[in-house]
Structure 1
Amino acid sequence: LAMMFAIVFLVQAESGDKRTSVIPQKEHATARLRIFDQNGQPAVSGVPSPTGAIFDVAVGQGGDVFVPDTVNISVGDTVRWTWAESGHSVTSGPPCVPDSQYCSPNDMNCFPGTVSDIGFVYQHTFTQPGTYSYHCIVHCVIGMTGVVNVSGGCAPSGWSAGPDMPFADVRSVGVYFQANGKFYAMGGRDASNVEFTNPFEYDPGSNSWTTKSASYPDAFTNNMACGVLAESGTPYIYCVGGSNFASQTESGRVFRYDPVADSITSVPSNWPPGDAGTLPGGFTVFNNKLYILGGFDVPDNISTDQIWEFTPNPAGWVQKGAVLPVPLSYIPTTTIGSLIYTAGGLDIATLTDETNSFVYDPVADSVGNGRRLQLSLQRGGRLCSRH
């Protein structure tokens, strides 16, 4: 009876630059480089602005540092890095882990990277909100890192119509791929409950959807966990687990999608709970690792409290020591700074929608309580958040 109930619930729930291979000898500026903002004031930290402003950062001013090492800007603003001494790079990603979202001198060959000389100027315009870490590929091990915090605003006119997808779609995972500025719908199924076989790509430049040629390795494409991870400096979309509607079974397989090459490769490191019949719960990326919090154990018809960590190279899983305070499934989860936040979720055993909110520290491997959710959204209302 428990198995029959789990199956019924699952059916319902599924509706030309020169590189250097050695550290070059630095050439120091004869005078301290002073950086000013667009108003002629000394730059300390960027202030969000809707005007497409430029914010300056000095590279190697006074040592192996970025000055300032943190800037706060708005979507559409540009950060301009000026080299105060030679032998440095600006490389996106966590310390010493290039993710190829952007890099000096020209956003190419981010790994192993290229260093530039004194007086060089590199700039990058940020088109999406988020927290963008970067480092000097040569001196990241000694702490030469920086952060660009990009805030996004709500459009004054509200929502605007976009193009229809190629097919009606449910149970897919949306992934933004910073390297090409496009959005991908991974997995899912159509209105007839038939699993999709190819990713869908949305191009904001042409405002259009395209069905890609790459084929998924199997039909377990509902309820997957996906995120962008870099391997050897090249970013991919990794997807984990999932279920099949017709067979009402689950999988723990892992694959990665290369949106640039439009190719899918199986990764020989299955998620253990998935192979035992569990669907991923909340998921997010931190420090180039994919985290899965909780899940839906379909055979036992219960939620889970486990936390799992996936590393792309070498590919492998680790079950963390910390657990969620309560078992949860279908958990909204995200990374903000160095912490992972959850909001609500479902207790499968009691079919209770929870208001719990938790904070997971992946470095300390510890879980704390966040504020209990108290949201009241009226139809037609908008929720806008600026960092």
Structure 2
Amino acid sequence: MDTVSFKDLPMSNLVPERVYLSGDTGNYTRDEPIQRIFKFDGYRGIGNMGGIRRTMLHPSNGSSEEEAFIVLVNSGAQLNWPNVYDTASGILTYHGDNQKPGRDHLSTKQAGNKAFIKYFRRSYEGFGEHIVPFFYFEKLPDGSVKYIGLAVPYVEGLDASEALTLERFNENQTGEDFENLVGRFTVLRTTVTREWLLDLKHGKIDSENAPVEWLRFLAERAFDPHVEPFQVQSLNRNKKKVKMESIGYRMASFRKTQGRFRRELLKRNDCCELCGMAVEPLLVASHIIPWSVADEHQRQDPDNGLLLCVTHDALFDKGFITFEDDGRILISEMFPRQEWQRLSIDEMMHLSHIPRNKAYMHLHRANIFKTSSR
């Protein structure tokens, strides 16, 4: 078993499945490992009690209201409402911090439920807001803890109302009911360096020390690329092999290219190029070949883009719709016909702007569009 001694905790990275040993003095406050793992000289630490532990940004950042990161500790003690990590799906179901009948679920001392609401909302409602990682640990019988992974307050395929729910429970001793939040997190089994933990204390969530999968989430609200690298080689101008940016995938590049890309698409049109919806905050600059696998030219090429409303962008991004070379819509047989009217799609629709470079859409049809054989 991969373990870290209590004395070495302040120097250790967070590695999935690694066990961080508790102290042996017999004093819980001194021996508790979480507070020691997240100890940095000259910085305020993290609490040693509770399942949801918040640590705030360093005062030099000018905000006393924003968290640097949050730690989730599953003690396994609540049998009636257990926190469960499903290794097959990678989804963590974790309960908030209200278990007291007669108390509003947002009035907890540690403000864990308030933090859940804040970061699930920010994860689902848009890009650019301060979102922090949750680090998930499981407590062992001897007081040691095992690090499982980086928990993201977002699940692909679930909308916000499904990912975070307010539910009613029953208190064992009194039999009284109480309300508590239940969050569903995507767990990224990735190593976290101490350098990034220190960056987080200063609000640098997307620093060069951040894990690649975390950056991909911030950039695209996705955890895996949609297209395999070899499938886009034919679009490279110099015919060299396309390399996935598993190293060097950085948010600075995303922000720079995405901002320019969106401006170019808005110059071309001021409404959804499929349905005509013209509320600008609800328009998405959608890449035909996803940003995560495109090369630098493709990321900025307006011909690799469509301006779509959020509904039609989601259908296009997930491969439920695509387009012929002349702009006519193709609707996946995998998408239920009874949902067509609800999401405003039909077989007569077509794009108001047809990209000049047909190769981009060809690859979308071949690799992303959902068919019964894929």
Task: State if a TM-score over 0.5 links the two structures.
Answer: no
Structure 1 or 2: more strand by fraction: 1
Query: Which structure ranks higher in relative contact order (CA pairs < 8 Å, sequence separation ≥ 6)?
Result: 2
Structure 2 length-normalised TM: 0.28
